[in-house]
Amino acid sequence: QMVYRCKTIKMFLYILGLVAVWFVYRWYRETKRVSNKEDKYVYITGCDSGFGNLLARHLDKLGFRVIAGCYTGKGEDELKKVSSDKLTTIHLDVADSESVSKVAAFIKTLVGQKGLWAVVNNAGISVPSGPNDWLTVEDFKPMIAVNLLGVIDVTLSVLPLIKKAKGRVINIASVCGRISPFGGPYCVSKYGVESFNDSLRIDMTPFGVKVLCIEPGFFKTNVTDTAMLKNNFIKLWERLPQEVKDDYGHGFLDTNKISYGDLMKVVGCMEHAISALYPRTRYSPGWDAKFLWLPMSYMPSWLSDTYLIKSKPRPKISAL
């Protein structure tokens, strides 16, 4: 019995050693970066604020030629003030195919025969969000137009340029593309991004194009601004029929506080996806993503449902 235990311990240590060696090898491999960054063009959507704005500034400092799509003129002006002359800003509305086509034509002229090294589909919105029976189908359409159809439209508009450079498509999804902690179109749109990302990755592999997905946890950006989400909730509540209000009760408006992390954790993953010689297929920045949401997405539905139901405010006439 003692010999058996010793063999078991040796086997365990052997496996542990192999895992440690693999992690060291992966770390070393992922430190390698692409060359000639000054010749590589990167197209980023949603650069007015948040992840997109920080990424544009970060890549500009690293020497990449950034094409920053901004929704507002103010966003363009403020980004120009803190960037070098190599960074180009341009007006972009990802929900407007004409705007997307105009930007794609501009990029084609700008990059020439070099092609486009990367497109980062970062633009997104998060409201209206709430219980599904508070919403109408018209509430779903604008967010899906931006978060999903915008991603598809922008990607397809520059895909020939990406293929020419054997470059990368980076899609900003969310942990909400793996599990749905709340109702409304946000999770629906992010599930769609995940599906588009996976199918495009398979399609583009023969052409040497890498398609990569970022799945952040909850970080403090304009998309997750607590005051904005609270106001959205109140607006939805005020238009509800009295019967639905009676079902939920006014106490349901008490929203849960969300833990936020350092935005540069996400930007670091985005930069690695763009500049690493051997990028990961998926990135999950944020401790909540790694240790709560993603593990929960693999759990049996009854278990994840139990957690999600208990973590939310309960309707007044709840049967639970």
pLDDT value for 9: 80
pLDDT tens column, 177-190: 999 999 999 999 99
pLDDT tens column, 238-256: 999 999 999 999 888 775 5
**Claim to verify: residue 14 and residue 93 sit in the same structural domain:** no
pLDDT tens column, 4-13: 677 778 788 8
Quick check: is 316 in a domain? Answer: no
Residue 186 annotated in active site? yes
Q: Which of 54-58, 89-93, 258-262, 286-290 has the lowest mean pLDDT?
A: 258-262
What CA–CA distance (Å, rounded) separates 286 from 228? Answer: 22
Quote the number of domains for the chain: 2
pLDDT tens column, 96-127: 999 999 999 999 999 999 999 999 999 999 89
pLDDT value for 57: 97
How long, in residues, is the chain?
Answer: 320
* Contact status, residue 307 vs residue 240, Cβ threshold 8 Å: no
Question: In the predicted model, is pLDDT for residue 314 greater than 80?
Answer: yes
**Claim to verify: residue 214 and residue 136 sit in the same structural domain:** yes
For strand 282-283 and strand 65-70, is the pairing parallel, antiparallel, or unpaired?
A: unpaired
**Claim to verify: residue 168 and residue 188 sit in the same structural domain:** yes
Tell me the average pLDDT across 153-169: 98
Q: Tell me which residue range forms the domain holding 5.
A: 1-31
Helix extents (H) in 85-241: 97-111, 137-144, 150-165, 185-204, 226-238
**Claim to verify: residue 150 and residue 124 sit in the same structural domain:** yes
pLDDT value for 85: 94
Quick check: is 318 in a domain? Answer: no
What CA–CA distance (Å, rounded) separates 149 from 30? Answer: 32
**Claim to verify: residue 292 and residue 181 sit in the same structural domain:** yes
Q: Answer whether 0.95 is exceeded by the pTM.
A: no
Would you place residue 258 in the very low, low, confident or very high pLDDT band (cuts 50, 70, 90)? low
Element (H, E) at 87: none
Query: Which residues, in sequence order, are CB contacts of 71 under 8 Å at separation 6+?
Result: 46, 48, 91, 92, 93, 123
**Claim to verify: residue 131 and residue 18 sit in the same structural domain:** no
- Which residue is catalytic, options 186, 191, 248, 283? 186
Q: In whole angstroms, what separates CA 298 from the centre of its chain? A: 19
- In a 13 Å sphere around the CA of 220, the CA atoms on its Cβ side amount to 8
Quick check: is 2 in a domain? Answer: yes
pLDDT tens column, 38-97: 999 999 999 999 999 999 999 999 999 999 999 999 999 999 999 999 999 999 999 999
Quick check: is 317 in a domain? Answer: no
**Claim to verify: residue 17 and residue 47 sit in the same structural domain:** no
